[in-house]
Amino acid sequence: MSLKPTCKEVHRLTSEGLDRKLSFVERARVRMHLLVCTACQNFTAQMQLIRRAMRDLLPPTDND
């Protein structure tokens, strides 16, 4: 594993990060890559938008 991840790895980690907590090292590597890669910034923003939209579609629970 290199210090600078590829776009493919950032996409994988971004997707995995929606389902599990990434390790400190994984988060740091993704953040470093996002500083210089506009394409991955866009991908990450799109994934977050989809996640929020899906949450909004869920019916309210008793806790809400």
Rounded to two decimals, the pTM is: 0.75
Backbone φ/ψ region at 26: left (φ over 0), alpha (ψ -120 to 50), beta: alpha
The answer to whether the CB of 30 falls within 8 A of the CB of 58 is no
Give tens-digit pLDDT for 14-44.
999 988 999 999 999 999 999 999 999 999 9
Only one residue has tokens 């806790």, namely: 63
Higher pLDDT, 55 or 21: 21
Domains in the chain: boundaries: 7-57
